[in-house]
Amino acid sequence: MTHGLALLALCAACGRGGFEALGPDAAADCWPVWRTHAVRLGTPRSLDELGTANSGDPSLTLDGLHMFLWREPGLDVNMATKSDPGATWTAPILVPELSSTGLEYRTSLSGDARISVFNSTRSGALELWLAEREDPEVPFGPPTQDLLANLTTTTGDYDPELSVDGLTLYFTRQVDGGRRLMRTTRATTSAAFDAPVELGEYGSDVHDPSLSPDQLVISYVVFTPPQRVEYRSRADIGQDFGEPTQLASVHEASDLELSPDGCELYYRAVAAPTSLWVAPIE
């Protein structure tokens, strides 16, 4: 299956790259094979263009042309870009308004790139933070926890995955030595998120949830031995996800990210932790 077109269009004169949302159904994609549980991975390649620094938690914007990730030293928020879906990534650059003297990990953006949720130790505990901006071409405003007050914990929150509309947030929470998958929702993007619900059916040590733009497919890593990548699908966002399917040929992977068109899987290889990889969906 060939790669789908980008889900956002570059505008004619858009400053830093342009975020003109077209929505998840704007182009051909690979999501049908995920929904029918027929996914096969092609040969992965190492993202050597990102450099040799240890990095992880790749997260793509809806256009597929901007990647947020953490990098050492410092574990700060960085961003790499590319000019079109077939191009290679540029060297990552620091995103100073989201970084701090603490540690930052995964950053997830809404479809219009105006909302960012990430986890950070800037207050001492590893907690979720939210930053907003009026225009995707300008820096984010100061991160706060005002709209995340119902989520605060002292045990550690990881792996935020924000839905395209900014109204649903998946993340994992440290519980009894493992991570539990959590979900929270809100009515509008100006409202606070509700108290999270634990999705216990996913297991006691689940990491790195990644959603399709239409929220009909979710992938994640199960760290309970044997470590494995699973994915689930559903026919409607009002339903629970169905039974899991194990994704073959991905062993000991972490920091998953599905590309917006479903045609690529980004991940961090445990056996080669300094590099990120991408595998095509065939």
What is the tens place of the pLDDT at every residue in 253-263? 899 999 999 99
Q: Strands 115-120 and 45-46: what pairing?
A: unpaired
Does pLDDT of 184 surpass 70? yes
Contact present, 187 and 167 (Cβ < 8 Å):
yes
For residue 8, the model assigns a pLDDT of: 33
Indicate the DSSP class of residue 78: E
Tokens describing residue 275:
């590099």
Residue range 228-242: mean pLDDT, rounded = 96
Radius of gyration of the chain (CA): 17
For residue 25, the model assigns a pLDDT of: 44
Q: Whole-angstrom Cα distance, residue 225 to residue 276?
A: 22
Q: Whole-angstrom Cα distance, residue 69 to residue 248?
A: 25
- Residues 60-86: pLDDT tens digits? 999 999 999 999 999 999 999 999 999
- Determine which helix (DSSP H) or strand (DSSP E) holds 208, and give its type and residue range: strand 206-211
Which distant-in-sequence residues (6+ apart) come within 8 Å of 115 by Cβ?
Answer: 109, 130, 131, 132, 162, 166, 189
Tokens describing residue 107:
């950053």
- Determine which helix (DSSP H) or strand (DSSP E) holds 113, and give its type and residue range: none
Does pLDDT of 59 surpass 70? yes
Around Cβ 57, how many Cβ atoms within 10 Å?
28
For residue 251, the model assigns a pLDDT of: 66
How many CA atoms lie within 13 Å of 8's alpha carbon, on the beta-carbon side?
Answer: 27
Give the alpha-carbon dihedral of 92, 98, 104, 105, to 10 degrees. Answer: -60
Q: What is the pTM for the complete model shown?
A: 0.89
For residue 273, the model assigns a pLDDT of: 64
Tokens describing residue 49:
């263009």
Does pLDDT of 207 surpass 90? yes
Confidence of residue 153 (pLDDT cuts 50, 70, 90): confident
Query: Could you tell me the CA-to-CA distances from 132 to 14, 57, 97, 166 in Å, in that order?
Result: 19, 20, 11, 11
- Identify the CA nearest to 219 among candidates 193, 255, 166: 255
